Structure 1
Amino acid sequence: MIADNIAAVSTRETRGGAVVRAAIDIRELVLQRVLLPGEQVRQEDLAHQLGISRGPIREALQVLAVEGIVRYERNRGYFVTRFTSDEMRQLYLIRELLESEVLRSLPPMCEDDLTRLRKINDEIRTDENSGEVIRLNRAFHDAVTEHSSLTLLKGQLATIGRMTLAYQSLSINALSDRHVVVSDHDDMIAALAAGDNDLLVDIARRHRKASLDRLIPILS
């Protein structure tokens, strides 16, 4: 009996690990635009591509549907979530309302944290891999907001970030000059160093608008 219970726990843990791995791999396919917004996600193809059985793939897709990365259509299956230009404007408006409050709530930032932000931004400046740049950009913004006590608002921001994963990649790839992003980040770091949260909010608003302005012509 004990042996059976141990075996059952081990099986669940192994399956749980496969589901986590599948979810990570599928997110990466969306981030790298291998799977495009509106594209059907075929479980058989993913199982073959990722080397994971269909059971964990199916469970991973259920997780990603909750996150908003994919959506399920009855009798049709899963599709990468696609947003219209109007929906994207709404998402950016929600993001602005949430992020502005989070930024205003930030305590003074210590020198070690400022140094970490500068290091991440220097990596964005020099890295040639667009997928890595997207991850670094997310890491930069997470590091900016991590000391806010508004945990519920930060959770909602993270939800929007997951929902728009494919479009973050699209926005970065649409850049004609990455210096625009890096320069905005430099200005954000300077505002944080000065303890000027109102200026930080204004710079972040400009930063979001530039991203949205790159996306809207593509989505329209």
Structure 2
Amino acid sequence: IDAMLEGFEVSKENFSTNFNGELLIITITLLSFLGLYYSAEKLTSRTSLTVSSKPLAIGLMIAIGIGLHNLGEGLAIGAAIGLGQVALSTFLIVGFALHNTTEGIAIASPLAKTKSPISKIIILGLIAGSPAIFGTWIGGFFYSPYTAIVFLSIGAGAIFQVALIILKWLYQSEQKLVQASIVSGVGVGMLIMYLTSILV
């Protein structure tokens, strides 16, 4: 939601009402969500026969979704650096690092009860985190309001898809959603996200 709101703000500041940036953002977000959801369903259905590979497939789709979201966050950091706002970019980087700690837990959770090698977990971390580097380069050297809207919208759709994958995984793994560990985890995660939003 935050990415969409940021996209609306960029559209309002840089484009006329004739451009209809709000509709473009909603459309790209929806297409991103549907495309990733379809890909996730195809991937998990292909690995449904092997119990050990399905959690890895779920972790992979979560990592891809978070990676697309991080691309938009990297764009914001690169744009701040490109505009000479060093103080702002420093806060963005600190907030981004703290923010990604909670996202890393989301990737690792489906693999917690499997014997996945550490190399695969590292690869998933790179899939989720490295797009931020490319986003920073794009934001620093080639920033435009159009690219900002597109990347933020794709990232928003990706995060919606990640949330749905996690909820489906919890349901299919027969874990109760109302558990002390889950409720406290969601609460702490929301608090960390709120605090990092103050920095950003």
Instruction: With the length of structure 2 as denominator, give the TM-score of the two structures.
Output: 0.28
Which one has a larger percent helix, Structure 1 or Structure 2? 2
Q: Which has the higher contact order (CA 8 A, sep 6+)?
A: 2
Structure of greater Rg: 1
Which one has a larger percent strand, Structure 1 or Structure 2? 1
Instruction: With the length of structure 1 as denominator, give the TM-score of the two structures.
Output: 0.26
